[in-house]
Amino acid sequence: MPFSESSALRARQALAGIWLAVILSLFHDPWSPVLTAPDSPVGPLALEAHHCVTVQNHCTHSHSYPIGAPVFWGLLLPLLIAVLFLFGHELWRRVCPLSFFSQLGRSLDRLRRRRPWSRSGTVPAQVKAPRVAADSWLGRHHLSLQFGLFYVALCGRILFVNSQRLSLALFMLAFIVAAAVVGFLYDGKSWCQYICPVAPVEAFYTGPRGLFGSRAHVKPDPSVKVSQSMCRTVASPGAPEKSACVACKTNCIDIDAEKTYWLTLMQPDRQRLYYGYAGLVLAYFAYYFLYSGSWAYYFSGLWSHEADQHAHLLDSGFAVGLGLVVGGHTLILPKLLAVPLVLGGGALAGYGLGRLAEALAARRLIRAERPLGREQLRHRCFTLTTFTIFNVFFVFGGYNLRALLPTPIASYIPVLLCGLSALWLHRTWHRHPDDYSREVMAQRQRGRQARPAAAPAQSSPSPGQTPPAKNQPAKTPPAKTPVAQVRFAIGPDGRA
Ligand code: SF4
């Protein structure tokens, strides 16, 4: 999805502006409740008078409410998932409003600088903004940390911010401040790469490539040096874009998502992410049923605008008959404990079942004498998981607003998304790391053929260069690691 950096910057700024407007509306919005009043003549949001939703056997009536939170959860968030899946992480990473805030330090040239000293301890080396070291704790465990933060945020969402507008506004502002602070402290896209809880979600839905995503390793114009969502700069309007990469991450997803996918495919934390995320999503939606005793609570959207969310924190976290049964007794757990338990249990169960399914599939294929390589099997399990969770997400996600559309349109949206995801599945299912490697080699070959004939081998030495001594064999430049060997660079422990 190639588009210019100036367009991307404008989109980032516009989305950041819209997001700030949504946050402001969460602090003060005396206007939009008019739209949801039972007798409202405007729009489809008007509540049905006297309609109630049963929650734990109690009839709960809705009152007119401001629409900031329901629009954020029901429209903006599902849109993000659809964009990630269809266009890959690259489009979102270039327009993400949170990345706009995290890059403020870089754009204002106010990054923290560190002056490392040369080994002799006398000559100050070049002043540099620090980067997260690949061998630091954060460098090695960032994916687990990000997934953990995502879990905490999801629990916090059900408990504190789904419908409490002030909490939601503070929650969002905390994210913005955290992103900006990390952006001032560390160079590159350190926030996106190492901390942002949405990054694992981006990796999950993108897979090797979004349905309409670009291929970084097959460039129509090899002279273009920037790819996908790589950090870039443009000196003046119309000038070619130049890389602004400071190598803040090895195997950066922003430079070549598919290469990163194959290189990290066999890593244990990827497996935890894929199956754990699937379990977490299923548990998240299931919890609304467990809590209220029916699906009406979720599908009515009451959870996004109920007036007293915090008042229920210590009430029972499960509807009658749906609690945890231990030793023949139903445990009465407050919602405050039930939510982390159900979501954490879902993530663990998802991980366990995913591993089990992968092992059973391997055994079955061996018995049927159709063994697949470990990488291919893992890839297909991941692909199937992403396809399933994407479609489950759109059965639930955004329903509260989708249901307001005229009948055929409301039902066509999930059907359309299911069709597109089937196309993605078809294209991704047979993909193999060797396909990627072959395409890289072919692209290199094309690049070499397109290059003009090389200048005579013996060039005169440039000033300051020592001419090679007589009878000394000419030095050949060190061979680059062939990208064709990308898959073989994965160690037995699954680490690249
Ligand atoms: S392109 Fe370079 S600077 Fe940007 S996120 Fe990737 S590694 Fe970091």
Q: Dihedral of CA 68/303/413/36: which sign?
A: negative
Using CA positions, which residue lies closest to atom 6 of ligand 1? 252
Quote the ligand 1 centre to 257 CA distance (angstroms).
Answer: 12
Please give all residues whose beta carbon lies within 6 A of any atom in ligand 1, as ranges: 188-189, 193, 230-231, 245-249, 252, 254-255
Using CA positions, which residue lies closest to atom 4 of ligand 1? 231
Domain ranges of the chain: 5-45+56-117+125-278+293-306+373-438
Using CA positions, which residue lies closest to atom 7 of ligand 1? 247
Which parts of the chain sit beneath pLDDT 70? 1-2, 41-43, 49, 114-127, 451-496
What pLDDT, on a 0 to 100 scale, did the predictor assign at position 25?
Answer: 92
Quote the ligand 1 centre to 208 CA distance (angstroms).
Answer: 18
Atom of ligand 1 nearest to the CA of 246: 3
128, 195, 252: which to mutate for ligand 1, most atoms within 8 A of CB?
A: 252
What pLDDT, on a 0 to 100 scale, did the predictor assign at position 492?
Answer: 36
What pLDDT, on a 0 to 100 scale, did the predictor assign at position 493?
Answer: 39
What pLDDT, on a 0 to 100 scale, did the predictor assign at position 2?
Answer: 67
What pLDDT, on a 0 to 100 scale, did the predictor assign at position 125?
Answer: 56
Average pLDDT along the chain: 84
What pLDDT, on a 0 to 100 scale, did the predictor assign at position 180?
Answer: 94
Quote the ligand 1 centre to 244 CA distance (angstroms).
Answer: 8
Quote the ligand 1 centre to 175 CA distance (angstroms).
Answer: 21
Q: What is the pLDDT of residues 348-402, one digit of tens each?
A: 999 999 999 999 999 999 888 887 888 999 999 999 999 999 999 999 888 878 8
Q: What is the pLDDT of residues 44-62, one digit of tens each?
A: 777 776 778 889 888 888 7
CA distance 362 to 370: 9
Quote the ligand 1 centre to 452 CA distance (angstroms).
Answer: 31
CA distance 82 to 439: 28
What pLDDT, on a 0 to 100 scale, did the predictor assign at position 457?
Answer: 45
